[in-house]
Structure 1
């Protein structure tokens, strides 16, 4: 049998608005019968649906129409089912002249049989920017198809606003859907910056950035400062991607500066991101650039107490970086002390002073470093040497004694196997060598190295190049 009723729409579209707790849409059903009334039952496909129909059971006279309202009640968050939502239209013919109340109609449709027809299924869609926002910010099943439907009634400006929101949420799939629908991927914020720095700031996955770049999003690094943003996010992978994208452009520069005159290395130093520092230097970045305050990256790291950054920068820059002063004449050490980061004192100053005092035999200077400055008696310089190595090399017995009395390791080894005892022997300082042995040095000496430039009588050493301890007595 043909249909008994006909809907005036192919789809019921509900505009979702957060500020409106009852969002609704109307539709009409027309009785196609010329001589008989039609009973109508309206339900939704999802039993737990947030939708309701104002007249679930009704009677439509011959060739007449009735209007129905589908309402979506919510508290600001729409409930979205995993299956598509629809209105099921069930009908039955009524005998002419017989009236039916609500209960009669309900009982009529409770009884299955040939008198009941499944007349139509009318799809239901929720649209509007508010609903699109909900889909973007939540992991909703079928979100791609739902989002395409939700934005079908949005204006171009609304699509672009939604794109910005999707970038902030890190929803790469939604970003792609919105760009395909006409959102402007080259929209700028009030500062003229593109969507790429926004994606990085939000801590999003790389996929969002990739989608934006693939869509033709234009980056102006002098404005967008994407390398600075990636450095602040500790994202070496993003920096690599962005540098490849920028290619040979003038903007593709790891030494580009922001309004403070700081490079991405400054930014990484402030946050303690050692991998970013190393990557930037490997790409030709200069770790000694001074900003508008005269601060180098080392000053920045010192100001925040970033031990890892300080160690990395000293490795990359060398000890001369410690002597750089800002516009107020302050070294990184002074900045660290002003900010209470005394734990950096040894690396930035006291260690150097201790090495110098040990080399010169300056007892007062050594005492100041070890007691007042808190210098690490076993700290190492860029060569891997401790203060004891230097004191032994220079033949400063008093320095050796003070260092040992303050807890210095007696046999520290550098990367080439050199010990303080080896330094003393190679430089011909027998008194220091004998003193170290007397204090318990167990270091063995490589004869081929130990006797290079040796001034000491050979009888002090055995055939293996070790000190003859019988000579110590």
Structure 2
């Protein structure tokens, strides 16, 4: 590969990308009615232009410094450049044609039809360009990682030479001391240079991410203007996590522990026979042999039986029998009952969003209990509150009698007490939160059971030794796992320790290690909102969608980021490396659903620009729209209702399901947003007429007259839509309107054509439809 020819090709393709960016700006100036998806396409073009120049700069620097370029890059870079050139030329041809035809004919209908014709091709090209950008990002990341490896090898070589030279010097004591001093100064200088390069690497990544963040904000501001509040709901605002510079807080201790293995009946029997879970520890012939003193200590004989009645049968009870034996106390037995609730239960939603008053009302009325357990995950309300980072709610539930040691059904999950200790070790939390987590973890021996190696303790600041010295002393321990299968790199990523992440990666730590909880370093960094660590790991070859065993569903890094990230840039970083935008967890919750639960409209807009499904449905039957209503995420709700036509199809509104949720959860602002949209006026569902929704609303705690009045106004709007719908049907029956104008067989096709026309012509009309042609599909 000739560096000069590659640099010339890079400049040519980057210039082409710049021309397309200019053409897109001109097209939007000529035709303001085109969908806002062109913003996403324009952003992709800008991104690939920047990435191309970065590739050219790297190739030029390697050539100037006479650094050998890997054979894989020699083959792949020209091929990717050629593919980029082909795809960009195809896109430029389409954009030029659209611009020319739009200039000649300014009719809106003509422009819309033109866009409809070219839209599928543009969408396919946009996906191809995104994949090309992702490939270049991987190459650039691998190049940066190899550069750090090269520096480390130079340092090791220099250290070896120093030792050999000092050993060979025997002429005189003075010369020996002089040579030792000289080589010591060389090693110290090289070390300082190495640390400087690490700091420069971090600074470059931070500066690049800062620039990209500003670009996202500017792009979204151009689309929505200053009238939109793009922040998350107040109850879900989180501070950015930072790596703890001090030692870890004191962990709670526990006098004894039980390591439990769990088996369960097959899932298909659940609806008919219920589910039986059997856990055991310390049983002869059944339990695994222990190889540590901590494990042997925890292997006191213990068995637990847990039977879940089928949902809706026998009050959905869960019966739990525990048998154990302690040498000092003798045999033990306990029998407890819990209650099984669906994932969509009101108490689960209140725990997730931290609604303590709502939980109190449910407990007082007997409609819920602190010992309720959800169906899919087997999470208690306490575990859901901890999952949602609602630490005040955790303290309330603990005082209300919640069991901090109740284990979820998955072997890959932790009980609240163990999870609390895990969160403390990850760092980046306030003293107030630490105090609450200590209460939760008072019965846990999580730390003692982890069997941490020396390298883990250094990263966790349980030891003050130097990380690099430990790696050089024990290079084979760099990927040694703890009891949960976590490596030092996973803990460094979870804590946001950027220097340790770079150090470990430069010595060859595995960025794709999957621990026993199915986490990878990238998953943990994404979950903890550490954007720089996420970028470093992706550049080192971390998979954005880790491979999991067949049939296992687990939150991907993007899914975790959508739930916890305070900056949409973290999501964009993962998407730029081709993360699956529809990856779902065990509940069927995708990134867009996570954002609708409790993140900002800025996050939602970014996901929609990247093609997220606006009508995706979770296992609990929740869509992004209904999820935003349930959690009163006003900004995301406003975005979905007002600007859906910019990115995707119309969000679905379902009759009693929607109104029932509004009556149960919606506040004044949410009802006001729904009432101000035209979706409910023009899309009538006869099922809206059934159900006493006012009675449901009155059952809520602290219902005000304003809330009742606002809900009644919403019902009046829907009833007005029902009246208009029936008047149209009467006109058709009387023969004044011809029903057969559109054939039933082709009405969907007619509807899709009309959708784009009506949407673009007048977005304020809400969900488009043709009254006489379209049968109910929403």
What TM bracket, shorter-length normalisation? 0.3 to 0.5
Taking structure 2 as the reference length, the TM-score comes to 0.26
Q: Give the number of the structure whose alpha-carbon radius of gyration is greater.
A: 1
Choose between structure 1 and 2 for higher RCO, CA contacts under 8 A separated by at least 6 residues: 2
Which structure has more helix as a fraction of its residues? 2
Which structure has more strand as a fraction of its residues? 1
